[in-house]
Amino acid sequence: MPEALYFEDFPLGEVAEYGRVDVSVDEILAFAREFDPQPFHTNEEAARAATGGLIASGWHTSALLLRMNCDAFLTRAAILEEAGVEEVRWQLPVRPGDRLHVRRQTLARRPREGRTNASEVEFLYEVVNQDGAVAMIQRSVLLLKQRPQPLTN
């Protein structure tokens, strides 16, 4: 079992880059057929006219960010609460053949009222493509446990 990650492990301003996903036609189609069956996500011909070719559903790009975050740190983070997502912007289309990774920045750290052993961390995640362009941003907050202090006498 890898060691847990606590509030102290995410210093203010830290930038971390991780993850790699190669986006395939089949995955775009499979996701869109289940969750977002609009022509520019499910039909290559219709997509050519509408969006210059097939593009991934924004919900798919969000899911790929989640996968890369899980692999990089979320499964190990001592999360007490994950209440939601402050903001998501799908700012560039994600297309078949794109190679994505994540750039995560620690935007803010703050105490939570009524909590002495946990604090909030606000992250900005950028999903970056092979050209270095940011296809999507997500801003969200985790309530993380503070590292337990060793017992002293």
Chain residues that interact with other proteins, rule: CB under 8 A: 34-40, 50-51, 55, 57-59, 62-64, 66-67, 70-71, 74-75, 82-91, 93, 136
Please, which residue, 69 or 119, has the CB nearer to other proteins?
Answer: 69
CB-based contacts of 105, cutoff 8 Å, min separation 6: 13, 14, 15, 123, 124, 126
CB of 95 to other proteins, least distance (A): 13
CB of 152 to other proteins, least distance (A): 33
Please, which residue, 10 or 40, has the CB nearer to other proteins?
Answer: 40
Please, which residue, 39 or 96, has the CB nearer to other proteins?
Answer: 39
CB of 149 to other proteins, least distance (A): 27
Are 55 and 108 contacting, i.e. CB atoms less than 8 angstroms apart? no
Count the Cβ atoms, other than its own, within 10 Å of residue 112: 15
DSSP annotation of 11 reads: -
Provide the sign of the torsion angle of the four alpha carbons 32, 34, 39, 45, taken in this order. positive
